[in-house]
Structure 1
Amino acid sequence: MINLNRFDLVTLRLFVAVLDAGSLTAGAERFGISLAAASKRIAELEQHCGLALLQRGARGVTATAAGIALHRHAIEVIARLEQMALALDDLHGGATGQLRLWANPSAFGGFLPQLLADYAQAHPQVRIDLEDALSEDGVRAVRDGAAELAVIGDNVPTEGLETAVCHVDQLVLLLPAGHALAAGSADVPVPIEQALGHDLISLARRASLTRQVMAAGEAVGLNPRIRVQVRSFDAMCRMVACGLGLAVLPQAAAAFHVDSLGLVQRPLSGLLTERRLLLVMRRREALSPPAAALLAMVEAAMPGTAAGLPSADPPAERAQGR
């Protein structure tokens, strides 16, 4: 039987970092130790287990069957220990709990600030640990235990996790008041092929919204031209106001800037404009009381939506940008 006393947290965290990075070198760099030290720790871990954990190749490392099993349980152990440490820190600070939430730019630019304001009023002793991140990073944070909950776009893979719809918005086109596409009635949609024929302002290319826009362009035979990439909707709108390009973004985010920056908002046609945001978690029954309270608020605000079910691949019409 394997001696549990020979496992240490540092090596387990290194092992997770190596597999997530796909190579021993990248894992060591991410963990902040030398390659030689990382190699020694992984070799000792394999010796303790009595099994090969990694398959080494020219392109990096992959997990063996034993490595997959260890990776899954290591994440659980690390997450629990981090939760324990954070809970003790909260007690030292007088708080009754901590909400660990990551959220994408669409959430920050839309419904999330008011939701958290209502949450803080209802739970004043809970400390909110909030991280601004792209959807992919939010999913990874939930899997790794860095966050209990994350708000993501619905075109991001979430296999093995549970989700709940937390917001539904519409994508719109934002453009300067003097632009040719700004003429005419505000209710007449702009065909997506016309909108994507111009330079675009976007978030990072791996952002779920950007990938959705790029997929919409491919569907109509276009390769959208991204002129400027920024990190927030506020920056996107300011770039549009300066005439650097057009932007496709959620209506809730656009509404904050239309009047103040003198911009024009137009509906779009030729693509699925409904954009759903999901609250993703590992297992709802394992949520801490602060996280469970936020989930309850979300479900109360979104009646009639499917929630809490194991995640599956999104249907075809929602798979744009995967």
Structure 2
Amino acid sequence: MEAPVLQPPVLTPVPVGKTGVLIVNLGTPDSPSVPDVRKYLREFLMDGRVIDVPYIPRFLLVNGIIAPFRAPKSAKVYKQLWTEVGSPLKHYGYVVERQLQEALGDAYVVKLAMRYQSPSIDAGLADFQRMGLTDLVVIPFFPQYASASTGSVYEKVMDILKTWQVMPKLRFVNRFLEHPKFIEAFVQAGRKYLTERHYDHVLFSYHGLPERQIRKGDVTKDVCRFGDCCGSLTAMNQHCYRAQCFETTRRIVRDLGLAEGSYTTCFQSRLGRDPWIKPYTDDIIKELAGKGVKSVLAFSPAFVSDCLETTIEVGEEYKEMFEERGGEHWQLVESLNDNPLWVETLVDLVKTA
């Protein structure tokens, strides 16, 4: 008698769940009032990846000096930035959240979060958990990786997820400065101004970092020299924020067809007495004005949304500094905000994370 032929069991297909997409920007006060600005500054500056000193001196510095004295001054500046829809950074965040949701479709759930203040990362992840989502993509809105920005988002997300009983499949976007659509969005924005008039010089101003943070990220302890080591992005320096900024400039410059010597990469927003990465934007502005440069087109490619550092610092304060020294025309290239190419960039990042 022949043995019966065993048939493989019929497997019931496992339902395919949705993918949660958390898009995360730095954050903004809930309002330009002094109490809300002080609350924001305390949360932001108490992050050990932002002010990377031991907890007790950081606590005393932030709560005893910076937040009490800086909040009233910062609140005045935030009032200049505020629009009828509130913070531009948060407004465009919600616009992009809706547009990205529409572009991705029903297989995805998109949530906006801020690293500091609201809407919080905690709330976004809690929503995903209640939905039973176990496939998550996290996209920090920082084109270049830095411990104080992207690294801080990573740390916050993982601190929350480690408490989940069911750990999700988790994918992070580390950086996206190389994405061709991200570059093209800035190129198109800049080309619009370059076709309207001639500019003597083009400035690429990035948010600065203390040099010590760059050194901490140099695992070789031998590559970082704050000079020619940023002349190209290599396997050895690819995690260096400064090198990534110079690479971003090179890619935008290449596609704009700018001549060598007609542009400068520099760094803004330094605080304290410790050396920050150079060259400093304000020093470059003084140098350009001293050479008789009359018109400057300024990019801020470390930011994807209009914010204090772009609209006010680069767009107004640096303009005033330039004009006080004889400059005649200063033009800020707006951030990506709700640019369709930016949304297309995010779609690609979600699907290839």
Identify whether the pair has TM-score above 0.5, normalized to the shorter chain: no
Which has a greater percent of strand?
A: 1
The normalised TM-score by structure 2 is: 0.25
The normalised TM-score by structure 1 is: 0.26
